[in-house]
Structure 1
Amino acid sequence: MGSAAMHIARTGLDAQDTRMRVISNNLANVNTTGFKRDRASFETLAYQVVTAAGSASTQETQYATGLNLGTGVRVQGTARINTQGSLQTTGNSLDLALDGDGYFQVQMPGGVLGYTRAGNFARSPEGLLVTGEGYQVMPGITVPEGATSITVGNDGTVSATLAGQAEAAQIGQIQIASFPNSAGLQPMGDNYLVETAASGPANIGIAGIEGRGQIRQGMLEGSNVNIVEELVDMIETQRAYEVNSKMISATDEMLKYVNQNI
Protein backbone atom coordinates (compact mmCIF):
# COMPACT_ATOMS: atom_id res chain seq x y z
CA MET A 1 0.00 0.00 0.00
CA GLY A 2 2.83 2.36 0.88
CA SER A 3 4.66 1.82 -2.40
CA ALA A 4 1.40 2.40 -4.30
CA ALA A 5 0.90 5.76 -2.56
CA MET A 6 4.48 6.71 -3.43
CA HIS A 7 3.89 5.80 -7.07
CA ILE A 8 0.73 7.90 -7.22
CA ALA A 9 2.52 10.88 -5.66
CA ARG A 10 5.36 10.45 -8.15
CA THR A 11 2.91 10.69 -11.07
CA GLY A 12 1.65 13.91 -9.49
CA LEU A 13 5.21 15.28 -9.40
CA ASP A 14 5.76 14.37 -13.04
CA ALA A 15 2.46 15.97 -14.10
CA GLN A 16 3.07 19.20 -12.19
CA ASP A 17 6.62 19.37 -13.52
CA THR A 18 5.25 19.15 -17.07
CA ARG A 19 2.66 21.83 -16.33
CA MET A 20 5.38 24.10 -14.96
CA ARG A 21 7.32 23.59 -18.19
CA VAL A 22 4.27 24.69 -20.20
CA ILE A 23 3.83 27.78 -18.02
CA SER A 24 7.54 28.57 -18.30
CA ASN A 25 7.33 28.44 -22.10
CA ASN A 26 4.30 30.77 -22.05
CA LEU A 27 6.14 33.33 -19.92
CA ALA A 28 9.28 33.04 -22.04
CA ASN A 29 7.21 33.96 -25.12
CA VAL A 30 5.31 36.86 -23.58
CA ASN A 31 6.84 39.22 -26.18
CA THR A 32 6.84 36.80 -29.14
CA THR A 33 4.87 38.12 -32.10
CA GLY A 34 1.69 36.14 -32.72
CA PHE A 35 2.41 33.61 -29.94
CA LYS A 36 -0.56 31.64 -28.55
CA ARG A 37 -0.32 30.34 -25.00
CA ASP A 38 -0.60 26.63 -24.19
CA ARG A 39 -2.55 24.96 -21.40
CA ALA A 40 -1.68 21.57 -19.94
CA SER A 41 -4.64 19.16 -19.70
CA PHE A 42 -4.63 16.38 -17.09
CA GLU A 43 -6.27 12.96 -17.02
CA THR A 44 -6.48 10.15 -14.47
CA LEU A 45 -4.56 6.93 -14.91
CA ALA A 46 -6.31 3.54 -14.88
CA TYR A 47 -8.36 2.62 -11.81
CA GLN A 48 -8.02 -0.59 -9.85
CA VAL A 49 -11.55 -1.94 -9.34
CA VAL A 50 -11.66 -3.76 -6.01
CA THR A 51 -15.44 -3.87 -5.75
CA ALA A 52 -17.61 -2.95 -8.71
CA ALA A 53 -20.60 -0.69 -8.08
CA GLY A 54 -23.78 -2.73 -8.47
CA SER A 55 -22.15 -6.06 -7.67
CA ALA A 56 -23.82 -8.29 -5.10
CA SER A 57 -22.99 -7.50 -1.47
CA THR A 58 -25.34 -10.23 -0.23
CA GLN A 59 -27.87 -12.49 -1.89
CA GLU A 60 -30.44 -9.69 -1.67
CA THR A 61 -28.44 -6.44 -1.86
CA GLN A 62 -25.94 -4.68 -4.11
CA TYR A 63 -23.07 -2.30 -3.49
CA ALA A 64 -24.22 1.27 -4.13
CA THR A 65 -20.80 2.80 -4.78
CA GLY A 66 -18.13 0.10 -5.00
CA LEU A 67 -14.41 0.49 -4.25
CA ASN A 68 -12.16 1.97 -6.95
CA LEU A 69 -8.54 2.92 -6.30
CA GLY A 70 -6.87 5.42 -8.62
CA THR A 71 -3.28 4.98 -9.77
CA GLY A 72 -2.35 8.59 -10.40
CA VAL A 73 -2.42 11.33 -13.01
CA ARG A 74 -0.67 12.31 -16.21
CA VAL A 75 -0.68 15.20 -18.67
CA GLN A 76 -3.06 14.19 -21.44
CA GLY A 77 -1.90 16.91 -23.80
CA THR A 78 -1.41 20.62 -24.32
CA ALA A 79 -4.15 22.78 -25.80
CA ARG A 80 -3.25 25.97 -27.66
CA ILE A 81 -5.45 28.92 -26.64
CA ASN A 82 -6.19 30.82 -29.86
CA THR A 83 -7.59 34.02 -28.39
CA GLN A 84 -6.72 37.27 -30.16
CA GLY A 85 -3.53 39.02 -29.06
CA SER A 86 -3.39 42.79 -28.78
CA LEU A 87 -2.58 44.69 -31.99
CA GLN A 88 0.49 46.90 -31.75
CA THR A 89 1.10 49.73 -34.19
CA THR A 90 4.56 49.71 -35.76
CA GLY A 91 4.20 52.03 -38.75
CA ASN A 92 6.14 49.58 -40.94
CA SER A 93 4.23 48.98 -44.19
CA LEU A 94 5.41 45.35 -44.34
CA ASP A 95 4.21 44.54 -40.81
CA LEU A 96 0.84 42.79 -41.06
CA ALA A 97 -1.49 41.58 -38.32
CA LEU A 98 -4.52 39.31 -38.54
CA ASP A 99 -7.54 40.68 -36.71
CA GLY A 100 -9.55 37.47 -36.30
CA ASP A 101 -9.15 33.84 -37.31
CA GLY A 102 -6.62 32.49 -39.79
CA TYR A 103 -2.95 32.18 -40.64
CA PHE A 104 -0.46 33.54 -43.16
CA GLN A 105 1.02 30.92 -45.50
CA VAL A 106 4.78 30.50 -45.79
CA GLN A 107 6.86 28.30 -48.10
CA MET A 108 9.29 26.48 -45.81
CA PRO A 109 12.39 24.46 -46.82
CA GLY A 110 11.56 21.14 -48.44
CA GLY A 111 8.36 22.45 -50.02
CA VAL A 112 6.37 22.24 -46.78
CA LEU A 113 3.76 24.94 -46.21
CA GLY A 114 4.00 26.59 -42.82
CA TYR A 115 1.36 28.73 -41.15
CA THR A 116 1.98 31.65 -38.84
CA ARG A 117 0.31 34.56 -37.08
CA ALA A 118 3.57 36.53 -37.05
CA GLY A 119 3.33 39.05 -39.89
CA ASN A 120 6.67 40.83 -39.46
CA PHE A 121 7.60 40.47 -43.14
CA ALA A 122 10.37 41.99 -45.22
CA ARG A 123 11.41 42.43 -48.85
CA SER A 124 14.08 40.15 -50.31
CA PRO A 125 16.77 41.41 -52.74
CA GLU A 126 14.63 39.97 -55.55
CA GLY A 127 11.63 41.97 -54.35
CA LEU A 128 9.75 38.99 -52.87
CA LEU A 129 7.69 39.31 -49.70
CA VAL A 130 9.44 37.05 -47.17
CA THR A 131 9.67 36.30 -43.46
CA GLY A 132 12.66 37.17 -41.30
CA GLU A 133 14.15 33.75 -42.11
CA GLY A 134 13.79 34.43 -45.83
CA TYR A 135 10.82 32.10 -46.36
CA GLN A 136 8.50 33.28 -49.12
CA VAL A 137 4.99 34.37 -48.21
CA MET A 138 2.44 32.45 -50.30
CA PRO A 139 1.06 33.10 -52.80
CA GLY A 140 4.26 34.79 -53.98
CA ILE A 141 4.20 38.56 -54.24
CA THR A 142 6.97 40.51 -55.97
CA VAL A 143 7.34 44.21 -55.20
CA PRO A 144 8.52 46.09 -58.32
CA GLU A 145 11.89 47.80 -58.18
CA GLY A 146 11.52 51.49 -57.51
CA ALA A 147 8.21 51.22 -55.68
CA THR A 148 7.79 54.25 -53.44
CA SER A 149 5.01 52.85 -51.26
CA ILE A 150 3.23 49.56 -50.59
CA THR A 151 -0.38 49.33 -49.49
CA VAL A 152 -2.10 46.20 -48.15
CA GLY A 153 -5.89 46.31 -47.90
CA ASN A 154 -7.94 44.61 -45.19
CA ASP A 155 -8.76 41.86 -47.72
CA GLY A 156 -5.06 41.26 -48.48
CA THR A 157 -4.93 43.17 -51.75
CA VAL A 158 -1.34 44.41 -52.23
CA SER A 159 -0.76 47.59 -54.25
CA ALA A 160 2.45 49.47 -55.06
CA THR A 161 3.05 53.00 -56.22
CA LEU A 162 5.94 53.42 -58.66
CA ALA A 163 8.03 56.53 -59.08
CA GLY A 164 6.38 58.94 -61.50
CA GLN A 165 2.94 57.33 -61.21
CA ALA A 166 0.03 58.96 -59.44
CA GLU A 167 -2.05 55.83 -58.82
CA ALA A 168 -1.08 52.57 -57.16
CA ALA A 169 -1.17 49.35 -59.18
CA GLN A 170 -2.30 46.01 -57.73
CA ILE A 171 0.58 43.51 -57.62
CA GLY A 172 -1.02 40.58 -55.81
CA GLN A 173 -3.19 39.39 -52.95
CA ILE A 174 -2.26 37.76 -49.68
CA GLN A 175 -4.54 34.81 -48.95
CA ILE A 176 -5.37 33.49 -45.50
CA ALA A 177 -5.60 29.86 -44.38
CA SER A 178 -8.15 28.62 -41.87
CA PHE A 179 -8.62 25.12 -40.44
CA PRO A 180 -11.54 23.06 -39.09
CA ASN A 181 -9.48 22.44 -35.94
CA SER A 182 -6.68 24.97 -35.65
CA ALA A 183 -5.75 23.56 -32.22
CA GLY A 184 -4.57 20.43 -34.07
CA LEU A 185 -1.79 22.27 -35.93
CA GLN A 186 1.71 21.05 -35.04
CA PRO A 187 4.09 23.75 -33.75
CA MET A 188 7.52 23.61 -35.41
CA GLY A 189 9.30 26.50 -33.69
CA ASP A 190 10.19 29.89 -35.20
CA ASN A 191 6.49 30.86 -34.96
CA TYR A 192 5.47 28.26 -37.57
CA LEU A 193 2.78 25.58 -37.51
CA VAL A 194 2.16 22.76 -39.98
CA GLU A 195 -0.97 20.92 -40.99
CA THR A 196 -1.79 17.57 -39.39
CA ALA A 197 -4.55 14.99 -39.69
CA ALA A 198 -6.08 16.46 -36.53
CA SER A 199 -6.17 20.02 -37.88
CA GLY A 200 -7.86 19.05 -41.12
CA PRO A 201 -6.93 20.51 -44.52
CA ALA A 202 -6.28 24.20 -44.97
CA ASN A 203 -9.14 26.29 -46.33
CA ILE A 204 -7.50 29.05 -48.37
CA GLY A 205 -9.36 32.23 -49.16
CA ILE A 206 -9.62 35.99 -48.95
CA ALA A 207 -9.21 37.76 -45.63
CA GLY A 208 -12.44 38.94 -44.04
CA ILE A 209 -14.59 36.29 -45.77
CA GLU A 210 -16.03 33.03 -44.36
CA GLY A 211 -14.85 33.73 -40.84
CA ARG A 212 -11.27 34.67 -41.69
CA GLY A 213 -9.78 37.68 -39.97
CA GLN A 214 -8.97 40.93 -41.69
CA ILE A 215 -5.43 42.13 -42.35
CA ARG A 216 -4.20 45.25 -40.59
CA GLN A 217 -1.22 46.93 -42.23
CA GLY A 218 1.44 48.61 -40.11
CA MET A 219 0.55 46.51 -37.08
CA LEU A 220 1.69 43.30 -35.39
CA GLU A 221 -0.27 40.93 -33.18
CA GLY A 222 1.26 40.54 -29.75
CA SER A 223 1.35 37.40 -27.62
CA ASN A 224 -1.91 36.47 -25.87
CA VAL A 225 -0.04 35.49 -22.69
CA ASN A 226 -1.46 37.17 -19.58
CA ILE A 227 1.42 37.48 -17.10
CA VAL A 228 -0.86 37.69 -14.05
CA GLU A 229 -2.75 34.52 -15.00
CA GLU A 230 0.48 32.66 -15.68
CA LEU A 231 1.95 33.69 -12.32
CA VAL A 232 -1.19 32.49 -10.53
CA ASP A 233 -0.96 29.16 -12.40
CA MET A 234 2.74 28.95 -11.52
CA ILE A 235 2.05 29.39 -7.80
CA GLU A 236 -0.78 26.82 -7.94
CA THR A 237 1.52 24.34 -9.71
CA GLN A 238 4.30 24.94 -7.19
CA ARG A 239 1.94 24.27 -4.28
CA ALA A 240 0.62 21.10 -5.90
CA TYR A 241 4.19 19.91 -6.46
CA GLU A 242 5.04 20.57 -2.80
CA VAL A 243 1.95 18.64 -1.61
CA ASN A 244 2.87 15.63 -3.73
CA SER A 245 6.43 15.80 -2.40
CA LYS A 246 5.10 15.86 1.18
CA MET A 247 2.93 12.85 0.35
CA ILE A 248 6.06 10.88 -0.56
CA SER A 249 7.74 11.96 2.67
CA ALA A 250 4.68 11.07 4.76
CA THR A 251 4.38 7.64 3.11
CA ASP A 252 8.06 7.02 3.70
CA GLU A 253 7.62 7.86 7.40
CA MET A 254 4.66 5.46 7.63
CA LEU A 255 6.67 2.63 6.09
CA LYS A 256 9.59 3.39 8.38
CA TYR A 257 7.30 3.24 11.41
CA VAL A 258 5.91 -0.14 10.32
CA ASN A 259 9.40 -1.56 9.78
CA GLN A 260 10.60 -0.40 13.18
CA ASN A 261 7.56 -1.32 15.28
CA ILE A 262 5.94 -4.34 13.68
Structure 2
Amino acid sequence: MVRSLWTAATGMNGQQANIDTISNNLSNVNTTGYKQHRVEFEDLLYQNVKLAGTPATEETVTPVGIQMGTGVKVGATQRIMTQGSLQATGVDTDIAIVGDGFFRVQQYDGSWAYTRDGSFKVDSNGQLVNSNGLRVVPEIILPEGYQLSTLTVTDTGRVSVKVNGGTEPVEVGQLELYRFPNAVGLENNGDNLYKVTNASGEPIASRPGFEGMGTTKHRFLEMSNVSVVNEMV
Protein backbone atom coordinates (compact mmCIF):
# COMPACT_ATOMS: atom_id res chain seq x y z
CA MET A 1 0.00 0.00 0.00
CA VAL A 2 2.78 2.45 0.92
CA ARG A 3 4.56 1.72 -2.36
CA SER A 4 1.34 2.33 -4.29
CA LEU A 5 0.92 5.72 -2.63
CA TRP A 6 4.53 6.66 -3.39
CA THR A 7 4.13 5.59 -7.03
CA ALA A 8 0.96 7.67 -7.33
CA ALA A 9 2.76 10.64 -5.74
CA THR A 10 5.43 10.56 -8.46
CA GLY A 11 2.63 10.90 -11.00
CA MET A 12 1.20 13.92 -9.17
CA ASN A 13 4.64 15.53 -8.98
CA GLY A 14 5.13 14.94 -12.68
CA GLN A 15 1.77 16.46 -13.56
CA GLN A 16 2.53 19.45 -11.33
CA ALA A 17 5.71 20.04 -13.34
CA ASN A 18 3.65 19.75 -16.52
CA ILE A 19 1.10 22.29 -15.28
CA ASP A 20 3.87 24.66 -14.17
CA THR A 21 5.43 24.48 -17.64
CA ILE A 22 2.10 25.07 -19.38
CA SER A 23 1.44 28.04 -17.07
CA ASN A 24 4.83 29.52 -17.94
CA ASN A 25 4.11 29.06 -21.65
CA LEU A 26 0.75 30.79 -21.35
CA SER A 27 2.18 33.67 -19.32
CA ASN A 28 4.74 34.27 -22.10
CA VAL A 29 2.30 34.07 -25.00
CA ASN A 30 3.01 37.75 -25.81
CA THR A 31 6.74 37.67 -25.04
CA THR A 32 8.82 38.60 -28.08
CA GLY A 33 10.81 35.65 -29.40
CA TYR A 34 9.73 33.29 -26.59
CA LYS A 35 9.99 29.58 -27.35
CA GLN A 36 7.48 27.07 -26.00
CA HIS A 37 8.65 24.42 -23.52
CA ARG A 38 7.31 20.88 -23.27
CA VAL A 39 7.79 18.44 -20.40
CA GLU A 40 9.11 14.99 -21.30
CA PHE A 41 8.57 12.13 -18.86
CA GLU A 42 10.54 8.96 -18.13
CA ASP A 43 9.47 5.91 -16.17
CA LEU A 44 11.37 5.03 -12.99
CA LEU A 45 13.15 1.78 -12.20
CA TYR A 46 11.16 -1.45 -12.22
CA GLN A 47 11.06 -4.17 -9.59
CA ASN A 48 11.67 -7.48 -11.32
CA VAL A 49 9.43 -10.12 -9.76
CA LYS A 50 10.04 -12.61 -12.56
CA LEU A 51 12.26 -12.13 -15.59
CA ALA A 52 11.04 -12.99 -19.07
CA GLY A 53 12.68 -16.20 -20.24
CA THR A 54 12.81 -17.76 -16.78
CA PRO A 55 12.48 -21.58 -17.04
CA ALA A 56 8.91 -22.64 -16.30
CA THR A 57 9.56 -26.37 -16.74
CA GLU A 58 12.47 -28.42 -18.00
CA GLU A 59 11.34 -27.74 -21.56
CA THR A 60 9.62 -24.34 -21.47
CA VAL A 61 10.36 -20.76 -20.47
CA THR A 62 8.00 -17.97 -19.46
CA PRO A 63 7.16 -15.80 -22.50
CA VAL A 64 6.73 -12.66 -20.41
CA GLY A 65 7.99 -11.55 -17.05
CA ILE A 66 6.56 -9.65 -14.11
CA GLN A 67 7.89 -6.13 -13.64
CA MET A 68 6.32 -3.71 -11.16
CA GLY A 69 6.74 -0.04 -12.07
CA THR A 70 7.68 2.51 -9.42
CA GLY A 71 6.42 5.69 -11.04
CA VAL A 72 7.47 8.52 -13.30
CA LYS A 73 9.93 11.41 -13.32
CA VAL A 74 10.52 14.50 -15.42
CA GLY A 75 13.23 13.63 -17.93
CA ALA A 76 13.59 17.03 -19.60
CA THR A 77 11.88 20.29 -20.41
CA GLN A 78 12.29 20.43 -24.16
CA ARG A 79 12.41 23.83 -25.87
CA ILE A 80 10.46 23.93 -29.15
CA MET A 81 12.45 26.07 -31.59
CA THR A 82 9.83 26.53 -34.31
CA GLN A 83 9.43 29.96 -35.91
CA GLY A 84 7.03 32.35 -34.18
CA SER A 85 4.64 34.48 -36.20
CA LEU A 86 5.90 37.82 -37.53
CA GLN A 87 4.21 41.02 -36.46
CA ALA A 88 4.66 44.30 -38.31
CA THR A 89 5.41 47.07 -35.79
CA GLY A 90 6.56 49.98 -37.93
CA VAL A 91 9.20 50.72 -35.27
CA ASP A 92 12.46 51.79 -36.90
CA THR A 93 14.68 49.72 -34.58
CA ASP A 94 12.65 46.49 -34.56
CA ILE A 95 14.28 43.57 -36.39
CA ALA A 96 12.91 40.02 -36.64
CA ILE A 97 14.85 36.87 -37.48
CA VAL A 98 13.19 34.69 -40.10
CA GLY A 99 14.68 31.20 -39.86
CA ASP A 100 17.67 29.97 -37.91
CA GLY A 101 19.86 32.20 -35.77
CA PHE A 102 20.17 34.48 -32.74
CA PHE A 103 21.34 38.01 -32.13
CA ARG A 104 24.33 38.40 -29.80
CA VAL A 105 24.48 40.99 -26.99
CA GLN A 106 27.20 41.76 -24.47
CA GLN A 107 26.18 41.53 -20.83
CA TYR A 108 27.40 43.89 -18.10
CA ASP A 109 30.03 41.38 -16.96
CA GLY A 110 31.45 41.22 -20.49
CA SER A 111 30.05 37.77 -21.33
CA TRP A 112 27.92 37.03 -24.39
CA ALA A 113 24.23 36.21 -24.43
CA TYR A 114 21.95 35.34 -27.34
CA THR A 115 18.38 36.33 -28.11
CA ARG A 116 15.59 36.10 -30.68
CA ASP A 117 14.13 39.36 -29.33
CA GLY A 118 14.88 42.08 -31.87
CA SER A 119 13.04 44.93 -30.12
CA PHE A 120 16.14 47.12 -30.10
CA LYS A 121 16.66 50.75 -29.11
CA VAL A 122 19.28 53.44 -29.79
CA ASP A 123 21.10 54.73 -26.69
CA SER A 124 22.54 58.19 -26.02
CA ASN A 125 25.72 57.24 -27.91
CA GLY A 126 23.79 56.24 -31.03
CA GLN A 127 24.48 52.57 -30.35
CA LEU A 128 22.00 49.77 -31.03
CA VAL A 129 21.07 48.10 -27.72
CA ASN A 130 18.37 45.77 -26.41
CA SER A 131 15.60 46.80 -24.01
CA ASN A 132 17.96 46.45 -21.03
CA GLY A 133 20.71 48.54 -22.59
CA LEU A 134 22.94 45.61 -23.58
CA ARG A 135 24.81 46.45 -26.77
CA VAL A 136 24.30 44.42 -29.91
CA VAL A 137 27.44 42.66 -31.17
CA PRO A 138 28.93 43.41 -33.68
CA GLU A 139 28.44 47.04 -32.71
CA ILE A 140 26.02 49.15 -34.73
CA ILE A 141 26.65 52.85 -34.01
CA LEU A 142 24.64 55.52 -35.79
CA PRO A 143 26.68 58.63 -36.67
CA GLU A 144 25.96 62.10 -35.32
CA GLY A 145 23.08 63.77 -37.11
CA TYR A 146 21.37 60.50 -38.03
CA GLN A 147 17.69 60.51 -39.01
CA LEU A 148 16.17 57.47 -37.32
CA SER A 149 13.16 57.41 -39.63
CA THR A 150 15.54 56.72 -42.54
CA LEU A 151 17.15 53.69 -40.90
CA THR A 152 17.08 50.63 -43.15
CA VAL A 153 18.10 47.03 -42.48
CA THR A 154 18.29 44.66 -45.44
CA ASP A 155 17.36 40.98 -45.27
CA THR A 156 21.11 40.24 -45.20
CA GLY A 157 21.66 42.51 -42.19
CA ARG A 158 23.25 45.60 -43.77
CA VAL A 159 22.36 48.69 -41.73
CA SER A 160 22.28 52.17 -43.24
CA VAL A 161 20.84 55.59 -42.37
CA LYS A 162 20.67 59.10 -43.78
CA VAL A 163 22.73 61.74 -41.97
CA ASN A 164 22.32 65.52 -41.61
CA GLY A 165 19.49 65.72 -44.12
CA GLY A 166 21.46 63.94 -46.82
CA THR A 167 19.71 62.17 -49.66
CA GLU A 168 21.98 59.13 -49.81
CA PRO A 169 22.02 56.59 -46.95
CA VAL A 170 25.32 55.87 -45.21
CA GLU A 171 26.13 52.24 -44.36
CA VAL A 172 26.86 52.08 -40.63
CA GLY A 173 27.23 48.38 -39.87
CA GLN A 174 26.56 44.73 -40.60
CA LEU A 175 24.44 42.56 -38.33
CA GLU A 176 25.59 39.01 -37.67
CA LEU A 177 23.51 36.06 -36.56
CA TYR A 178 24.66 33.04 -34.57
CA ARG A 179 23.41 29.47 -34.71
CA PHE A 180 24.26 26.43 -32.62
CA PRO A 181 24.79 22.72 -33.30
CA ASN A 182 22.10 22.04 -30.68
CA ALA A 183 20.07 25.18 -29.97
CA VAL A 184 17.72 23.35 -27.58
CA GLY A 185 20.75 22.89 -25.32
CA LEU A 186 21.00 26.63 -24.62
CA GLU A 187 20.28 27.78 -21.07
CA ASN A 188 17.46 30.24 -20.43
CA ASN A 189 18.91 33.25 -18.61
CA GLY A 190 15.83 35.46 -18.23
CA ASP A 191 15.19 38.76 -20.03
CA ASN A 192 14.72 36.83 -23.31
CA LEU A 193 18.40 35.81 -23.23
CA TYR A 194 20.15 32.45 -23.65
CA LYS A 195 23.60 31.33 -22.55
CA VAL A 196 25.92 28.80 -24.18
CA THR A 197 26.30 25.38 -22.53
CA ASN A 198 28.31 22.27 -23.28
CA ALA A 199 25.11 20.79 -24.71
CA SER A 200 24.44 23.66 -27.12
CA GLY A 201 27.92 23.71 -28.61
CA GLU A 202 29.79 26.86 -29.59
CA PRO A 203 28.08 29.55 -31.70
CA ILE A 204 28.62 29.67 -35.46
CA ALA A 205 28.55 33.22 -36.84
CA SER A 206 27.42 34.29 -40.29
CA ARG A 207 25.71 37.14 -42.05
CA PRO A 208 21.94 36.76 -42.34
CA GLY A 209 20.95 34.76 -45.40
CA PHE A 210 24.30 33.00 -45.77
CA GLU A 211 25.51 29.50 -44.81
CA GLY A 212 22.09 28.29 -43.71
CA MET A 213 21.43 31.31 -41.50
CA GLY A 214 18.04 32.99 -41.32
CA THR A 215 17.35 36.46 -42.69
CA THR A 216 16.44 39.73 -40.98
CA LYS A 217 13.12 41.53 -41.45
CA HIS A 218 13.11 45.23 -40.61
CA ARG A 219 10.27 46.83 -38.63
CA PHE A 220 8.92 43.41 -37.66
CA LEU A 221 9.16 41.32 -34.49
CA GLU A 222 8.96 37.56 -34.03
CA MET A 223 6.24 36.74 -31.54
CA SER A 224 6.03 33.77 -29.17
CA ASN A 225 5.46 30.38 -30.81
CA VAL A 226 3.05 29.35 -28.02
CA SER A 227 -0.42 28.29 -29.16
CA VAL A 228 -2.98 28.98 -26.44
CA VAL A 229 -5.35 26.39 -27.89
CA ASN A 230 -2.72 23.64 -27.87
CA GLU A 231 -1.63 24.50 -24.33
CA MET A 232 -5.20 24.20 -23.05
CA VAL A 233 -5.83 20.80 -24.66
- TM interval, shorter chain, is over 0.9
Q: TM-score when scaled to structure 1? A: 0.87
Give a deviation string over 1:113-156, Cα, whole Å, max 9, x none.
11100000000101110001000000111111211121111111
Partner Cα separation in structure 2 for residue 110 and residue 51 of structure 1:
58
Aligned partner of 1:26 in structure 2 is 25
How far apart are residue 164 of structure 1 and its match? 3.6
Aligned partner of 1:220 in structure 2 is 221
Q: Which amino acid aligns with 1:183?
A: V
Partner Cα separation in structure 2 for residue 55 and residue 164 of structure 1:
88
Give a deviation string over 1:167-200, Cα, whole Å, max 9, x none.
1111110100000110000000110001111011
Q: Which amino acid aligns with 1:135?
A: L
Does residue 1:133 correspond to 2:166, yes or no? Answer: no
Q: Which amino acid aligns with 2:223?
A: G
Aligned partner of 2:105 in structure 1 is 106
Aligned partner of 2:84 in structure 1 is 85
Partner Cα separation in structure 2 for residue 204 and residue 119 of structure 1:
17
How far apart are residue 212 of structure 1 and its match? 1.2
Partner Cα separation in structure 2 for residue 111 and residue 57 of structure 1:
68
Q: Which structure 2 segments of 5+ residues have no match?
A: none
How far apart are residue 219 of structure 1 and its match? 0.4
Q: Which amino acid aligns with 1:3?
A: V
Partner Cα separation in structure 2 for residue 134 and residue 101 of structure 1:
24
Give the fraction of aligned pairs with identical amino acids, expressed as a percent. 44
**SS of the residue 1:110 aligns to:** coil
**SS of the residue 2:18 aligns to:** helix
Q: Structure 2 matches for 1:176-195, cutoff 5 A? A: 176-195=177-196
How far apart are residue 165 of structure 1 and its match? 2.1
Q: Which structure 1 segments of 5+ residues have no match?
A: 233-262
Aligned partner of 1:69 in structure 2 is 68
The list of structure 1 runs, each at least 4 consecutive aligned residues, that deviate by more than 2 angstroms after superposition, is: none
Equivalent residue pairs, number = 231
Q: TM-score when scaled to structure 2? A: 0.97
Aligned partner of 1:46 in structure 2 is 45
Partner Cα separation in structure 2 for residue 84 and residue 112 of structure 1:
26
Range moving further from structure 2, 34-43 or 60-69: 60-69
Aligned partner of 1:175 in structure 2 is 176
**SS of the residue 1:23 aligns to:** helix
Partner Cα separation in structure 2 for residue 48 and residue 58 of structure 1:
23
- In terms of Rg, which structure is larger? 1
Aligned partner of 1:204 in structure 2 is 205
**SS of the residue 2:189 aligns to:** strand
Partner Cα separation in structure 2 for residue 108 and residue 48 of structure 1:
49
Aligned partner of 1:121 in structure 2 is 120
Aligned partner of 1:160 in structure 2 is 161
